[in-house]
């Protein structure tokens, strides 16, 4: 992957939207400041047009943040691109945060599309996880 000395240069490339740099820094972050910088960059690209960049951002956020902190932006990405991986990640979100948005999204997708099944599965998981009376 590279030495820790390469991290400042990788941050520069990641900041400019190079997915490979973002993938690499995920494995190199050590200090709380580095982690904070990595999270900031990942949040910037979680809704990027380029799939590999979105994916790299998601992986970094999964490693160094929590789904509840990032669920809102992940939902934005899901609504824009309907990526299976992102939909699946939302299974771990709090039902209060994601359930209604996913139900609205599902209503816009034809039942014969794979994304409909992906969203439905995640909705089912969230409904099983929701507190009684919600």
Written as tens digits, the pLDDT of the chain (134 aa) is: 458 999 999 999 999 999 999 999 999 999 999 999 999 999 999 999 999 999 999 999 999 999 999 999 999 999 999 999 999 999 999 999 999 999 999 999 999 999 999 999 999 999 999 887 65
Looking at the structure, do residues 13 and 41 belong to the same domain, yes or no? yes
Q: What is the pLDDT of residues 11-46, one digit of tens each?
A: 999 999 999 999 999 999 999 999 999 999 999 999
For residues 80-115, b (16+ Cβ closer than 10 Å) or e, as one string? Answer: ebbbbebbebbbbbebebbbebbeebbeebeeeeeb
Cα(108)–Cα(64) distance, integer angstroms: 32
How many domains does the chain fold into? 2
Q: What is the pLDDT of residue 54?
A: 98
Looking at the structure, do residues 73 and 59 belong to the same domain, yes or no? no
Cα(39)–Cα(115) distance, integer angstroms: 28
Looking at the structure, do residues 57 and 94 belong to the same domain, yes or no? no
Looking at the structure, do residues 79 and 59 belong to the same domain, yes or no? no
Domain that holds residue 119: 69-134
Cα(96)–Cα(66) distance, integer angstroms: 15
Domain boundary among 65, 84, 112: 65
Looking at the structure, do residues 55 and 105 belong to the same domain, yes or no? no
This prediction's pTM: 0.93
Cα(76)–Cα(84) distance, integer angstroms: 14
User: What Cα–Cα distance (Å) separates residue 52 from each residue in 11, 21, 46, 73, 87?
Assistant: 17, 11, 10, 16, 16
Looking at the structure, do residues 41 and 77 belong to the same domain, yes or no? no
Domain boundary among 15, 36, 65: 65
Looking at the structure, do residues 89 and 125 belong to the same domain, yes or no? yes
């Amino acid at each position: 992957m590279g030495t820790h000395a390469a991290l400042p240069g990788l941050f520069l490339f990641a900041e400019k939207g190079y997915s490979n740099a973002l993938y690499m820094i995920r494995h190199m972050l050590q200090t709380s400041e580095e982690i904070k910088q990595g999270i900031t960059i990942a949040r910037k690209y979680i809704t990027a047009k380029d799939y590999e960049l979105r994916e790299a951002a998601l992986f970094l956020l999964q490693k160094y943040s929590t789904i509840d902190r990032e669920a809102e932006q992940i939902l934005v990405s899901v609504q824009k691109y309907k990526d299976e991986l992102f939909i699946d990640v939302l299974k771990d979100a709090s039902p209060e945060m994601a359930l209604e948005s996913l139900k609205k999204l599902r209503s816009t997708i034809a039942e014969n599309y794979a994304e409909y099944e992906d969203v439905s599965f995640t909705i089912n998981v969230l409904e099983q996880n929701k507190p009684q009376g919600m």
